[in-house]
Structures are given as C-alpha cells and as structure tokens.
Amino acid sequence: MAELHGNDAFIDTDKLIFGIGQVQQITGVSGRQLRYWEEQGYIKSISQKKGAAREYSMHTLFFIFHVTRFLDDGFTLQAAVDKAKKFDRQLPVLRQFLRSQLKGVDFQDDQSVIDFGYVDAEHKQRIYGIVKNGETSFKIENVD
DNA sequence: TTTCTGACA
DNA sequence: TGTCAGAA
C-alpha cells in the first residue's frame, strides 16, 4: 500500500532540471561564474561531458541561490559555499522535525497559531507557536 | 540562439 | 569576473 505522507508523496525535486541559462535568470549568477565555481569544485552539474550543455538539479539551484545570499552578506566564495553546505545539512533535519511535530495551523483574527502537539508524555500540556504582528513566540497551555 | 572552451586591453 | 572568439 502506498504511503501518503512520505517523501515519495511529493515531487522528486531532483528530477527538475535547469539549463545554465535558466540558472542565470533565476539566481543572477553569470554563466562564467557557474563554470568557474564548477571548475573549483564548489558546485556540480549533472554529468558534464565534453562540450555538452550543463544541466543543474533543483537541489543545486537552491544551493547556488544560497551561495549568492552569503556572498551578498560579504562572505568569500569559499566561506559562502561552506555556509551553504551547512545549511543544506540542516534542511532535512528541520523538515523531519516539522513533519513529525506539526499538528496544524489555526488562522485567527489577529494571529496564527501553530500546534506542535503535546509537550509531555502524559498529555497534560500542549505547545503552540504564535505568529503575531510579524513576530513569533511560544505558548504552552494546560490541557483540560 | 544558446552554450562550450580558452584566453586576456 | 567580464567579455570576445570560434565551434558545436
């Protein structure tokens, strides 16, 4: 039987392929830079053979995007790549945690309430994430 | 037309 | 890194 909520239930983002021209348009990184970064081993394109046009997976596209953000923050290319890699490692952990802990989101008049479920095994307290006026906070409530 | 590699006022 | 050339 098929699992409805596994990773498989979503689009395999690595099957979304982008040409170097598209990557340039989306990330603003020049083709010259992309080839140089690849030459330096910072990024990789899908099976780059001889003079064939480069293709990038969506994962790589995201990676490139993150590198540019760190470059904009003033980091060197090497440092930006390192930070992007670190960020890359955090994503699956964050996704797993959120996927298992997120119970639902309630949209109220002045705020949004994220239900993270019970805090304790006894189910005496429930924790919520509050998003209000552009700010976030936690709230723990006792369960009746 | 787009991309590739190599080179450099 | 940009840019130009010559080829695919």
Q: Check residue A11 and report its DSSP letter.
A: -
- Indicate if CB(A74) is under 7 A from strand C: no
Q: Tell me: the pLDDT tens digits for A97-135?
A: 999 999 999 999 999 999 999 999 999 999 999 999 999
| Beta bridge partners of residue A125, listed in sequence order | A142
Residue nearest to nucleotide C3 (CA to C1'): A32
Write down all domains in chain A, each with its CATH number in brackets. 11-100 (1.10.1660.10), 102-142 (no CATH)
The SS3 assignment for A116 reads strand
pTM, 2 dp: 0.79
pLDDT for position A9: 60
| Beta bridge partners of residue A141, listed in sequence order | A126
- Indicate if CB(A51) is under 7 A from strand C: yes
Label residue A24 exposed, middle or buried (CB < 10 Å: 0-12, 13-18, 19+).
middle
Q: Tell me: the pLDDT tens digits for A11-42?
A: 787 789 999 999 999 999 999 999 999 999 99
- Torsions phi, psi for A74 (to 5 deg): 100, 5
